[in-house]
Structure 1
Amino acid sequence: MNNLFFFFCLLFASLFKLSFSRGGFPTSINVSGVENCSFAASARHLFADIKVSLAEEMHLKRLEELAKDYMSNSDLENAIMSFNRRCSGISRVYSIGKSVLGVPLWVMEISDKPGKEEAEPAFKYIGNVHGDEPVGRELLILLANWLCDNYMKDPLATLIVDNVHLHILPSMNPDGFSLRKRGNANNIDLNRDFPDQFFHMNDDPGAHQPETKAIMRWLDEMHFTASASLHGGALVANYPWDGTEDKKKYYYGCPDDETFRYMASIYSRSHHNMSLSEEFPGGITNGAYWYPIYGGMQDWNYLHAGCFELTLEISDDKWPNASELPTLFEYNKMSMLNLVASVVKTGIHGRIFSSDEGRPIPASIAIKGLNSTIHARETLADYHRLLVPAGKYEVIATMPGYKSRSTRIVLGEEAMTVDFVMDPAITPINSFLQRGWNCSLPGLHLEVFFILVLILVSVFLCFLLKRRVVLNYPKQRQSKRSVLGV
């Protein structure tokens, strides 16, 4: 009997060794003192491992069942194209790139003049950043169709379409969705893949995931005023900063902390019950105070492009039953609409021109006391600066080669237009030309005129020098002949 018991102990020990060799646990088991069967502790690890595997398997099966009533990636693409055909007068569809597995990242632009540059703010919504948080992709399709159905009928829909360029990316992570996991096809969390301000992570441009690169190119091409990404697993509007310098958890606000709190509150107060949260006062939170993260998209938007982005947790359940989606849309609809409308209804807006020719110039706009600067667009020189209403501000416009301009304003509850006309800086060359020449050259800068004069003088001097050489050449030959006695 003892021999049989010893045999079974050795058999189980060998089985454990085979299991642990690939799972990260110790690969050797002490079977000395067979009476005690000391591999029992390892057995507990194995059974725990099996329990976790079974739980994961059950979870995946549950997600597969739930996903049957959600749009697949193909369904989502068809829904986007169908929307564009139905609402072609106020929309266009374009791709910003592809996922790891080659799925196009489709964007819907909604505007009365889609695809055309206007002196209007641009806003973007991004859904499905995490593959296992699919509510956002469904709600964004519903939002696009609601705007289409209610344009010229509902005042808020009409305001947005006529005055904002709204860009909607329903799914940033289609691969993660199809795989039913948080990360992308390379198992990378896309909301940890952006360059970070505090730590040297993700600094190599070539190392970013294709989805991350697509977002970064998009920000370089488009001039977004504000944006939001839709997540699941909580009910709160999150704002920068998302991390801290020492990786500890505490409130760490960015320079525009008050403005971000105001934006987050617009979403929370417009929501069915977000502002009633017992966990998050007012339904909003500073990201670092909640829990610090690094390499996030939210902070990168603000730092890199001056785009004011929120991270919106819109459903306590990451993957609710699809029958709940219409209700979730109704709970979030006014929040999504009011957040987009805020880029038109609040803050300061304007354009910047040069005084000498009246042409638009892409100057920078700063607010005294805030270490934050936004830039006017290159082509139209329009800017859109979000600020908390009912405040006093000093607005400063700067541009290399021009004198800075500033103005003090009292911002009410509605948006204010603040245009700037900037004078070219007086350089020593300009000053000399203006005093000595006192000439007027319409359509030409004095600097350009001065350069042209220098070029003409140089050409004339070269001509005289060449002519002198040619005229002296016969005399030189005659002198040589005399010397040689020819």
Structure 2
Amino acid sequence: MKLVFSLLFLLLLSLLSSSFHSAVARGGERSFNSSGSFRLSRRLSAESYIDKLNRLADGYMSNSELEEAFSAFAHRCSNISRIYSIGESVNGLPLWVVEISDKPGVEEAEPAFKFVGNVHGDEPVGRELMLLLANWLCDNYHIDPLATLIIDNVHLHILPSMNPDGFELRRRGNANNIDLNRDFPDQLFPINDDVDARQPETQAIMRWLKDIQFTASASLHGGALVANYPWDGTPDKRKSYYGCPDDETFRFLASVYSRSHYNMSRSTEFVGGITNGAFWYPVYGGMQDWNYIHAGCFELTLEISDDKWPPSNELHTLWEYNKMSMLNIVASMVKTGVHGRIFSADCGKPLPASVIIKGINYSIQATESFANYHRLLAPDNKYEVVAEMPGYKSKSTHIILGEDATTVDFILEPDLSSKSKISRRGCDFRYDTERKLKMVQILPGPKLELYLIFTLIIMFLFFLFKRRVIVNYLNHRRNTTPKRSIVV
């Protein structure tokens, strides 16, 4: 009988011991208070947490090593790249960007795409993958069709680390311990409205998007495996699906990344490996919603590894898993959607008009310099594309968008009945009018009539010439591009 009780006592001690060990293994730390009873802390101490991340950081590039690596890349691949800074972190570290294009630093009628990594300091995988992406593009230019397509037709901008201070401190927030993905102005709640109160890293991103008109972008995060799209928050702060006006297009873009990934689309947690941000968990002051609302930039938040900080020996595998996804999401800027330029019929100059898709409450703006636009849309749909510009008559056309991109160029006629005081862009209308009034004073009587007839003939011939130049340009584009072209 004593033997039985002894065995039961030993078994009880074993169970109690295993329960304590399992609690510690899940991140708890046992300690005793003054009364002698113990309490279970559910968090690791800051020291042990940082020690763990310091061990994991072995094999990852430091901030100085990352800067050196990008400088070496720019020197080796100087024909297709340039390095520039968009600002500094709280601690004064430069926020370096590398641009990759066949004409880096030259403004062209091409879409621009950006990758942003290391938004959270303790999610460093994106830093490493972006350098691998840059080198792969350089090594395969004029060798691999996808690399050549991207470099020849897209301006790709790569910011490997938005939060270099957080990386050095081995924590999520920046040097001020602010989560940079909660620091942007929010559409639903009046937070972060004080410009001076925003973090320097946030302000740098906002200035960047004023300088460059990005078509789309993606930020790389860690801790899950899913492609996240807007909206990120809900009006009632509850977890529920809350789609933006371009919900269908965002689902398509997220699926481009997920389907190209090694196993993201096979997720058992997220159907198809994609999720609406608010349906996953609401975020306010996030970067992707701000991009879409204020900068006309379609941004995805990409969670690319289940571990926030995986061991460095897994980086090569993560690169192989994400490589085609990163390439295909950039290539989709030219392979899908509606693209084109907008001209004035009266003087042939480019017009920075608005482009609207009927039925979608969202417009984009053609660029100031070239009046080129790049409107991302989900394929296999019918759309009505509209171009509008103050002082001109709007024009529209219906398209059936397949798997390939379509080019729709617009030639807008001046709205002579318009009482708007806005002068038509690209045409020095006021100067021409003043010059004609001076000529009226110089040439009275019959000479004036002859002059006016002669002027009308010259203006008509000039109009025909300009229109012919535009049409010839558009025909040239139609003959040299694989996209289906339409002139409206």
Distance 1:294 1:39 in 2: 42
Residue in structure 2 matched with residue 413 of structure 1 by the alignment: 403
Show CA shifts across 1:355-397 (max 9, x none). 0110001000010000010000000100000011111100000
Higher mean displacement: 72-81 or 444-453: 444-453
Cα deviation 1:417-465 (Å, max 9, x = unaligned) = 00000111114789xxxxxxxxxxxx9755434345678999xxxxxxx
Matched, 1:133 2:123: yes
Change (3 A) 1:272 1:192: same
State the match for 2:336 in structure 1. Answer: 346
The equivalent position to 2:304 in structure 1, one of 277, 301, 314, is: 314
Q: How does 1:63-462 map to 2 (within 5 A)?
A: 63-427=53-417, 447-451=430-434
User: What residue identity is the alignment partner of 1:301?
Assistant: N
Q: Distance in 1 between matches of 2:207 and 2:429?
A: 38
SS at match of 2:79: helix
How far apart, in 2, do the equivalents of 1:120 and 1:83 lie?
A: 23
Cα distance change, pair 180–381 in 1 and its aligned pair in 2 (3 A): same
2:452 alignment counterpart: none
Alignment of 1:12-27 (within 5 A): none
Deviations 1:21-70 (A, max 9, x none): xxxxxxxxxxxxxxxxx9649x75xx545x7353x322211111111211
The more displaced of 56-65 and 270-279 is 56-65
Conservation of the 8 A alpha-carbon contact between 1:137 and 1:170: yes
Instruction: Please tell me whether the aligned partners of residues 137 and 171 of structure 1 are also in contact (alpha carbons under 8 angstroms).
Output: yes
**2:345 alignment partner AA:** S
**Contact 2:391–2:418 (Cα < 8 Å) also in 1:** no
Per-residue deviation at 1:292?
Answer: 0.3
CA distance in 1, matches of 2:73, 2:369: 30
Alpha-carbon distance in 2 for matches of 1:328, 1:347:
29
Q: 3-state DSSP class of the match of 1:133?
A: coil
For 1:273 and 1:48, locate their aligned partners in 2 and report how far apart those are by CA, in whole Å. Answer: 38
Q: For 2:65 and 2:336, how far apart are their aligned partners in 1?
A: 37
Counting aligned pairs with the same residue, the percent is 69
Q: 1:87 touches 1:148 (CA, 8 Å); kept in 2? A: yes
Q: Which amino acid aligns with 1:332?
A: N
Matching residue's letter, 1:400: P
SS of match in other structure, 1:418: strand
Q: Is this contact kept in 1: 2:347–2:427, CA < 8 A?
A: no
Structure 1 residue 411 displacement after superposition:
1.0
How far apart, in 2, do the equivalents of 1:152 and 1:91 lie?
15
Opposite residue 195 of structure 2, the aligned amino acid is P
Measure, in 1, the Cα distance between the counterparts of 2:213 and 2:427. Answer: 30
Aligned CA distance change for structure 1 residues 445 and 106 (closer, same or farther; 3 Å): closer
C-alpha offsets along residues 293-350 of structure 1, whole Å, 9 cap, x if unaligned? 0000000000011100000000000000000000000000000000000010000100
Question: What amino acid sits opposite 2:433 in the alignment?
Answer: F
In 2, the alpha carbon distance for the partners of 1:445 and 1:85 equals 44
Name the amino acid aligned to 2:116. I
Distance in 1 (alpha carbons) for counterparts of 2:219 and 2:266: 21
The one-letter code matched in structure 2 to 1:252 is Y
Q: Measure, in 2, the Cα distance between the counterparts of 1:98 and 1:424.
A: 46
CA distance in 2, matches of 1:247, 1:296: 14
CA distance in 2, matches of 1:98, 1:222: 18
CA drift at 1:171: 0.3
Query: How many aligned residue pairs are there?
Result: 405
Residue 12 (structure 2) aligns with = none
| SS of 1:301 mapped into structure 2 | helix
Task: Say if 1:448 and 1:282 are closer, same or farther in 2 by CA, change over 3 A.
Answer: same
TM-score by length of 2: 0.80
Residue identity matched to 2:222: G
Question: How much has 1:198 moved relative to structure 2?
Answer: 0.3
Partners of 2:139 and 2:313 in 1: how far apart? 22
Q: In the alignment, residue 259 of structure 2 is paired with which amino acid?
A: R
Please provide the CA RMSD for this pair: 2.1
SS in 1 for 2:188: coil
Instruction: Please say if residues 429 and 447 of structure 1, whose CA atoms lie closer than 8 Å, have aligned partners that are also in contact.
Output: no
Name the counterpart of 1:52.
43
Whole-angstrom distance in 2 between the partners of 1:377 and 1:285? 31
- Measured in 1, the distance between the counterparts of 2:418 and 2:331 equals 47
TM-score, structure 1 normalization: 0.80
What is the identity, as a one-letter code, of the residue corresponding to 1:141? L
Q: 2:417, 2:145 → 1: CA distance? A: 51
Q: After superposition, what is the alpha-carbon deviation per residue over 1:110-166, rounded to whole angstroms, capped at 9, x for unaligned? A: 001111011110000000000000000000001000101111111111110111000
* Higher radius of gyration, 1 or 2: 1
Q: What amino acid is the match of 1:330?
A: E
